[in-house]
Amino acid sequence: MKHLRSPLILIVLASFLFLGGVHAQSAEQRKLEARKERLQKEIRQINSLLSQQKKERKSVLEELEDLNQKIRVRRELIKVTNQQANLLNRRINANINEISSLREQLEGLKEDYAAMIRKSYKSKSQQSRLMFLLSSDNFQQAFKRVKYMQQYAGYRKEQGEEIVKTTERLKTLNNDLIAQRKEKQALVEENKVVQAELQQELNAQRDLVNSIKRKESQYAAQIRRKQQESDEIDRQIDNLIKEAIARSNRENRAKGKKVSSTSFALTAEAEVMGKNFKENKGKLPWPVEKGVIKMRYGTQPHPVVRSVQIKSNGVRIATEKGSKARSVFKGKVLAVTGYKGGNKAVLIQHGSYISVYNNLSKVFVKEGDLVGTKQQIGEVFTNNVTNETLLKFMIYNNNKIDNPSNWIYRM
């Protein structure tokens, strides 16, 4: 009977291995689907912002910036869809191999089962079984023969049930294969649509780039002028934070305590808040409910006029007209200030960390107020010329600027 059990063991092992692979692929498929949904949402948000601003837009630079953003996300979407199709290919090939293996194992089961039936038929009479027992040399041998006949009957039933299960498994795999091929075809068709839209955007991008090249020096001068204005506002924010650190340290210095000129002197409660803020790194909510990144942190070539380097001490988030800025974590309003040509800014202290919300047209808080996570602190300014609504968001650790993308969830 030992040789009869080998096909059953093979089927069980193959099923475990197959199910393990399917589980891993399903997890990867869910991850890719979630990523695709996020990209599709970002494209919808960009399209929504473009439709709101199109009538008012007068700057070809800003129009090309938005188009570049759409192209970037569209390419990422195509990449994710291709990854989904490749994953389905692997699943389809795995199913084909599994179907082939199960068919071979099913044939083996049927052959073993037929051999058992033939053997059982030859000795099926009650007299034969009785003579088999009576011919035993002793009681112990007779008992073993009874157990053998019981086990043989049980295994025969087990083999029959396994044949039914394997047949059903084959049917299920065949149905899965049909569904997966349809799903793959749908992904291929979806990608064709996205690629056609991407090509239209690339054509529009080429036309805009050509129009900009004819006046590149003029546009470069505009970008540098805006960069100088942005740098001046950043310097004012830096100075304001340094002054706040100095104020927090005066009392401790007067008491003879050792203080640092670059760090806040914190109360025990403020230290706890700073620790909690740090523990939420990468999990903080966005400073606006809906938005897309127009400019990332750091020194980088301008997204349109690549010959010009620009520096961003934070991120610039495009959002809808009338959108409200909201605190990314509980804290205390350190300052509310306005800048020439820069509208208003709110600085919120979270222990030794500070979040900065710049380019607000209205402010709903005042210095010294305690605010909660996601509490609205002001309305984001909308440019009447370009109709753009941009929030400039920064994070400081004491007097050192940090990349907000490291702190905000999925930024």
Average pLDDT (316-335) is: 96
State which fold the 266-406 domain adopts. Glucose Permease (Domain IIA) (2.70.70)
- For residue 340 the two structure tokens come to 């020439």
With a CB cutoff of 8 Å and minimum separation 6, the contacts of 339 are 232, 233, 236, 345
Closest CA relative to residue 1, chosen from 90, 80, 115, 91: 115
Residue 20 has a pLDDT of 57
Residue 402 has a pLDDT of 97
Average pLDDT (372-382) is: 97
Residue 403 has a pLDDT of 97
- For residue 229 the two structure tokens come to 């204005």
Residue 371 has pLDDT above 90, yes or no: yes
With a CB cutoff of 8 Å and minimum separation 6, the contacts of 359 are 342, 343, 344, 345, 380, 381, 390, 391, 392
Residue 118 has pLDDT above 50, yes or no: yes
CB atoms inside a 10 Å sphere around CB 52? 16
Residue type, 60: V
Average pLDDT (258-278) is: 89
Residue 117 has a pLDDT of 66
Residue 108 has pLDDT above 80, yes or no: no
Residue 127 has pLDDT above 60, yes or no: no
Beta bridge partners of 370: 332
Query: Which is more confident, 277 or 267?
Result: 277
Query: Which is more confident, 373 or 343?
Result: 373
- pLDDT tens, 184-240? 999 999 999 999 999 999 998 888 888 887 888 888 888 888 889 889 989 999 999
Residue 149 has a pLDDT of 62
- For residue 345 the two structure tokens come to 């800014």
Residue 128 has pLDDT above 80, yes or no: no
Query: Which is more confident, 155 or 381?
Result: 381
Give alpha helix (H) positions in 123-215. Answer: 126-134, 139-213
Residue 2 has a pLDDT of 43
Q: What is the DSSP string of 221-263?
A: HHHHHHHHHHHHHHHHHHHHHHHHHHHHHHHHHHTT----TTS
H or E stretch including 333?
strand 331-339
Q: What's the pTM? A: 0.66
Domain ranges of the chain: 2-213, 266-406
Closest CA relative to residue 286, chosen from 31, 50, 37, 45: 45
- 5: pLDDT confidence band, cut at 50, 70 and 90? very low
- pLDDT tens, 58-87? 567 777 888 888 898 999 999 999 999 998
Instruction: Compute the distance between CA of residue 62 and CA of residue 51 in angstroms, rounded to an integer.
Output: 14
Query: Which is more confident, 223 or 135?
Result: 223
Residue 155 has pLDDT above 70, yes or no: no
Query: Which is more confident, 401 or 97?
Result: 401
With a CB cutoff of 8 Å and minimum separation 6, the contacts of 249 are 259, 260, 261, 264, 265
Average pLDDT (362-380) is: 97
Residue 115 has pLDDT above 90, yes or no: no
Residue 106 has pLDDT above 60, yes or no: yes
* Mean pLDDT score of the chain: 82
Residue 3 has a pLDDT of 45
Average pLDDT (327-356) is: 92
Least confident of 51-55, 148-152, 374-378, 398-402: 51-55
Q: Exposed, middle or buried by CB within 10 Å (0-12, 13-18, 19+), for 398? A: middle
Average pLDDT (393-402) is: 96
- 289: pLDDT confidence band, cut at 50, 70 and 90? very high
Residue type, 138: N
Query: Which is more confident, 139 or 230?
Result: 230
- Is there a contact between 14 and 98 (Cβ–Cβ < 8 Å)? yes
